[in-house]
Structure 1
Amino acid sequence: MADELDLLRAADPVPADHPRLGDGPLDQRAERLLADLRREPPARRRVRWFRVGAGVRPRPAWALLAAVVTAVTLSLVVGGTATTPALAAPRPLVVRADTTRVTLTELARRARADAAAGGEALRKGTHVQSWSLAMSEDKAPITLPEERIVRWKPDGSHTELVVATDPTHPGRPVLRDDAEGPRLVEDGHVVSRRTYPRSWSDAPPQSPPPRDANRLRAWLQEAASEPDGLGTGQILDAVELMLDNWTLGARESAALAELLAGTEGLRPAGRVTDRLGRPGLAYTYEERGLAHLLIMDPRTGAVLGRETTFTRADPTYGVRAGDVMAYSAWMR
């Protein structure tokens, strides 16, 4: 427990001696945000403000608190909600709905055929490009792009490299927020480079994902710390957690495709080209003001990416319907 607390404190983007954090009573806004913690968290707080490393098993309550604290304290843009963001947020992907829609059942069949032919092997670690929307009540929302590479070593330790980069605008400056405040950095700027000691955990997401759909569902449920089962949105969140720790092999991707084929509300939408230029099949699900777009490889069934957009405006945070809240693209 102490080690995990130390990692969380080290990940706090605002130091304890920051001039904005003087001691004093909570104001009305802070009281309201604190009260919100007792209720179902709004979907907008699912934005990932920081990562504590693949070696730490997540604690959802702590992650929620950190997101709320960050939303209250960070000033991430130049100007108020009526101003133009420092860098434009990515537009939602366009799905070609006029194309033949491939069901998840058919995609699972293709994935099993790929696995039977050999396919890729499971690898611990991840390579992901992400775009995350940061919001506050008095500043326009902005998008922070970054690339994260996690590699595990034979001795059980692992390294994590985080780089500020946006492959949709190669060579352009990238927006970051750190101890110096919001600023533009060069494309490829190293945000962090860390080495983590060996992890002794054998619980999900540290244990290898199963190759059977039913066992994989139980694995995702344990990884997400949801003892009462997983709804569709929770399954998508748990899949993202898995892919932020593991690069799936052909057999694991087939099991996941089979699991998703039995997931209520996840519907085929057509073909799409993801933000890295890869062709994919799009599957959609909507809940609580958010639209989830899952992008999967049309041949292997591997998950290529996930996009989450707002389906309704929230003037408090300067969010409009159709704004991209988060996007992740996983690579091998």
Structure 2
Amino acid sequence: MNRQDRDINEPSHASPGDAVNLPGASRKRWSRGGRWLLAAFLVLMLLGPAAASVTFHAPSGQPVTAAADDGATLGPSDSMQLSARERLLRLADTITATPADTARGYAYHHQRRWILDTTGRRDGRGPTRPPGWREHTPAVLAVDIRRWEANNGSGRDITVEVGPDYTLTGADPHHRSTNAEFTRGRTTASRYPAGHQRSIIAGPPAADPDQLARQLAFDPLPDGPPATLRAVDELFTSFYVDLPVRKAALRVLADVNPISYRPGVTDRLGRTGVAVTHTSNRVTHALLFDPATGLLLASEQRSVGAHEYLDVPPGLVRTYTLFLTQTRRPGLR
């Protein structure tokens, strides 16, 4: 059974120190001797900008080199440097089907999401605030969602909400998720009638890249590449994305410029994938894909430096979504 076709109900046993965190938390390794630094400097002066690169290390210990400026990457087994576009197109051509691609029934999603925000202002309205609640304070809210949805929009979901967490643990780039994190949350269950539409993406997703790109262009104020990455995130959040559409989504991302492609990156469960990233306006947007199936494992928005309006440490994760399970189920359980 494909690992995406079953719930992940056990905590990850991988150590945070064993893997690179999304998106590209590996540190640059610098030469310790002055002679090495001088030699490297001379090489760069001779070869020019094309030689400038940052070396990341996959969990296997094999180096993966990513070009610093244009996002081109060189995988451990490649004999020549390929651009991020070429790597994405190659990935689209090689990903394989899962049993859910041909199954019938409810689209089933199990997702976890962490959001860095403020608790807002106490105004006497709305639900009772949890103990320790403080107004206008940075905090992380976390939610675990299990959702069943039929083709006609009917279905149900079970949501577990946790927080606000003023320690900001869920915004730590090295945070790892376990079931224990959600055992004491507030649980709600909802049912939806036929005709319910939860996504801003209209109609079933298209398998043609040009048509899919038009469906994903729903942002009324697009901000360039980040809008496309957020739209692909919404696609996998709201639909079971079968193989032809997964291929099309990767081809849509291949047309994003500039964009980076980084293999050997891990998510908050310790699963390893390939990260597609773009950085602008002090935020890195990242999507992490399973290199075998093309299913989305995680998405992230992380601050680069200080946050614009929250008084929090620099470099924290603003939003993070784990896609634990994406499959189809015959019934509402």
Q: State yes or no: 1:158 paired with 2:160.
A: no
Which residue is 1:113 aligned to? 94
C-alpha spacing 1:217/1:229, structure 2 compared with 1 (3 Å): farther
Which residue is 1:44 aligned to? none
Q: TM-score, normalised by structure 1?
A: 0.58
**Which one-letter code corresponds to 1:161 in the other structure?**
I
Q: State yes or no: 1:134 paired with 2:130.
A: no
Runs of at least 5 residues in structure 1 that lack an aligned partner in the other structure: 1-90, 175-186
How far residue 326 of structure 1 moved from its aligned partner, in angstroms, is 0.6
Which residue is 1:11 aligned to? none
Give the count of matched residue pairs.
226
Which of 241, 244, 263 lines up with 1:248 in the alignment?
Answer: 241
Deviation digits for residues 148-168 of structure 1 (CA, Å, limit 9, x no counterpart): 122124664121211246893
Cα RMSD of the aligned pairs, angstroms, is 3.2
C-alpha spacing 1:110/1:155, structure 2 compared with 1 (3 Å): closer
Give the Cα separation in 1 of the matches to 2:186 and 2:296.
27
Deviation digits for residues 65-104 of structure 1 (CA, Å, limit 9, x no counterpart): xxxxxxxxxxxxxxxxxxxxxxxxxx86654524334535
Give the Cα separation in 2 of the matches to 1:320 and 1:327.
17
Q: Decide whether the 8 Å contact of 1:130 with 1:326 is kept in 2.
A: yes
Which residue is 2:258 aligned to? 265
C-alpha spacing 1:242/1:118, structure 2 compared with 1 (3 Å): closer
SS in structure 2 of the partner of residue 276 of structure 1: coil
C-alpha spacing 1:153/1:168, structure 2 compared with 1 (3 Å): same
Q: TM-score, normalised by structure 2?
A: 0.58
Q: Identity of counterpart residues, as a percentage?
A: 22
Which residue is 1:199 aligned to? 195
C-alpha spacing 1:315/1:208, structure 2 compared with 1 (3 Å): closer
Which residue is 1:45 aligned to? none
Which of 301, 313, 319 lines up with 1:308 in the alignment?
Answer: 301
Give the Cα separation in 2 of the matches to 1:240 and 1:119.
22
**Which one-letter code corresponds to 2:312 in the other structure?**
V
Q: Decide whether the 8 Å contact of 2:154 with 2:196 is kept in 1.
A: no
**Which one-letter code corresponds to 1:212 in the other structure?**
D
Q: Which has the higher contact order (CA 8 A, sep 6+)?
A: 2
SS in structure 2 of the partner of residue 244 of structure 1: helix
C-alpha spacing 1:262/1:306, structure 2 compared with 1 (3 Å): same
Give the Cα separation in 1 of the matches to 2:117 and 2:199.
31
For residues 1-332 of structure 1, what are the structure 2 equivalents within 5 Å? 94-96=24-26, 97-98=56-57, 99-100=63-64, 101=73, 103-115=84-96, 120-121=100-101, 124=107, 126-135=109-118, 139-153=136-150, 156-164=153-161, 168=176, 170=178, 172=180, 187=183, 189-199=185-195, 205-221=201-217, 224-226=218-220, 231-314=224-307, 316-330=309-323, 331-332=325-326
How far residue 329 of structure 1 moved from its aligned partner, in angstroms, is 1.3
SS in structure 1 of the partner of residue 114 of structure 2: strand
SS in structure 2 of the partner of residue 161 of structure 1: strand
Give the Cα separation in 2 of the matches to 1:300 and 1:173.
28
How far residue 125 of structure 1 moved from its aligned partner, in angstroms, is 5.0
How far residue 232 of structure 1 moved from its aligned partner, in angstroms, is 0.7
Q: Decide whether the 8 Å contact of 1:108 with 1:258 is kept in 2.
A: yes
How far residue 173 of structure 1 moved from its aligned partner, in angstroms, is 5.8
Give the Cα separation in 1 of the matches to 2:259 and 2:311.
29
Deviation digits for residues 139-196 of structure 1 (CA, Å, limit 9, x no counterpart): 442212211122124664121211246893546465xxxxxxxxxxxx1634321011
C-alpha spacing 1:206/1:278, structure 2 compared with 1 (3 Å): same
How far residue 242 of structure 1 moved from its aligned partner, in angstroms, is 1.6
Give the Cα separation in 2 of the matches to 1:148 and 1:164.
9
> If you compute each CA radius of gyration, which structure gives the higher value, 1 or 2?
2
